[in-house]
Amino acid sequence: MLSLVTHLHAFVKEVALTETEWWKAIEILTQAGYKCSDKRQEFILFSDTLGVSMVVDLLSHRKPEGATESTVFGPFHRLGAPEMPPGANIASLDKSGMPTLVRGRVLDLEGRPIAGALLDVWQAQTSGLYDSQDPSLDGLHMRGKFRSDDKGRYLVRTVRPVHYPIPSDGPVGAMLAATARHPWRPAHIHFVVSAEGYEPVTTHLFDSADPYLESDAVFAVKDSLICDFVRHERAEGHARALGIAPPYLTADFDFVLKPAAEGAARDPLEGQKRLAALGAAA
């Protein structure tokens, strides 16, 4: 708190903050509060778009070489996604997207498979909306939980991710417009990967063909998380077994987890559960 107050007072003095500007800041924070609900978190959007979330993530989740890098959690995770068998389709209601298989392994730092790892997956629809933003949907969509098998393998069926704008109808959108920034996020799929005895990782897989990789509105892109979505004109392997008609895409990515520090086991969704409780109380 001492450091916060020191830097805050220094900022006020540096910019010679006026009373009018101070009142405007209070109004913006008040508006952000009004925008928050169990389906939207405007303060997380502020943190993301100011780059604070990524700095906190970097300081909190230092990774050894070879471990999968983390990135922002984002404001659109929802609790209660069902656990699904390998190859199950989280995009069963999305009829316009390109069928996509995301596959790979969950490994430790020595390259050994981690069996029974839990992969919590969520994604925006081809429309660019998450289920919580789409008034035509009732319930969860584009979400699921998967387990790695005894060889560490996982398989998720979905549709190709799309780039989309973050919500810009509130104070965060006004801030972006005032600073001549766009609200777009590059195409990605969210993952939280956890396993007993290992530190969970919250991360994205980014589409290497996306035009917004260099200008993500929330500064979340890391080179190691960019992967190719490869087009196939003939059904083979997993696609044939699942009855997926071509054309379709595959993306291959191995998640590598670091061992948990002694006594450091934690729920990777602890923060989200706290926010859900706040939303319910409101």
pLDDT (tens digit per residue) in 31-57? 999 999 877 889 999 999 999 999 999
CA dihedral 151→101→67→153, nearest 10 degrees, is: -10
Is residue 61 very low, low, confident or very high in pLDDT (cuts 50, 70, 90)? confident
Token reading at 173: 């959108």
Please indicate, yes or no, if residue 23 is contained in any of the structural domains: no
Please indicate, yes or no, if residue 22 is contained in any of the structural domains: no
Please report the sign of the dihedral spanned by the C-alpha atoms of residue 26, residue 31, residue 37, residue 169: negative
Residue 282 is predicted with a pLDDT of 46
Q: Which residue has the higher pLDDT, 77 or 161?
A: 161
Task: Specify the number of domains making up the chain.
Answer: 1
pLDDT > 70? residue 87: yes
pLDDT > 90? residue 280: no
Q: Which residue has the higher pLDDT, 275 or 136?
A: 136
Name every residue whose Cβ is closer than 8 Å to that of residue 248 and which is 6 or more positions away in sequence: 98, 99, 100, 101, 231, 232, 235, 239
Q: Which of 170, 179, 159, 186 is nearest to 74 (CA)?
A: 186
138: which DSSP letter? -
- CATH code at 198? 2.60.130.10
Residue 227's domain comprises 36-281
Q: Which residue has the higher pLDDT, 141 or 280?
A: 141
Please report the sign of the dihedral spanned by the C-alpha atoms of residue 146, residue 149, residue 152, residue 156: negative
Residue 277 is predicted with a pLDDT of 55
pLDDT > 80? residue 220: yes
Please indicate, yes or no, if residue 172 is contained in any of the structural domains: yes
How many helices, marked H, and strands, marked E, lie in the chain? 7, 12
| Range with lowest mean pLDDT among 68-77, 81-90, 189-198, 203-212 | 68-77
| Secondary structure (H, E, C), 64-94 | CCCCCCCCCCCCCCCCCCCECCCCCECCCCC
Instruction: Provide the mean pLDDT of the chain.
Output: 93
| Range with lowest mean pLDDT among 95-99, 143-147, 270-274 | 270-274
Residue 41 is predicted with a pLDDT of 87
Residue 138 is predicted with a pLDDT of 87
Please indicate, yes or no, if residue 28 is contained in any of the structural domains: no
Residues 108-152 have pLDDT tens digits of 999 999 999 999 999 999 999 999 889 898 889 999 999 999 999
Please indicate, yes or no, if residue 55 is contained in any of the structural domains: yes
Please indicate, yes or no, if residue 90 is contained in any of the structural domains: yes
pLDDT > 70? residue 273: no
Residue 164 is predicted with a pLDDT of 96
Residues 161-210 have pLDDT tens digits of 999 999 999 999 999 999 999 999 999 999 999 999 999 999 999 999 99
Tell me how many degrees the CA angle 40-174-220 measures, rounded to the nearest 5. Answer: 60
260: which DSSP letter? P
Token reading at 168: 């810009």
Please indicate, yes or no, if residue 17 is contained in any of the structural domains: no
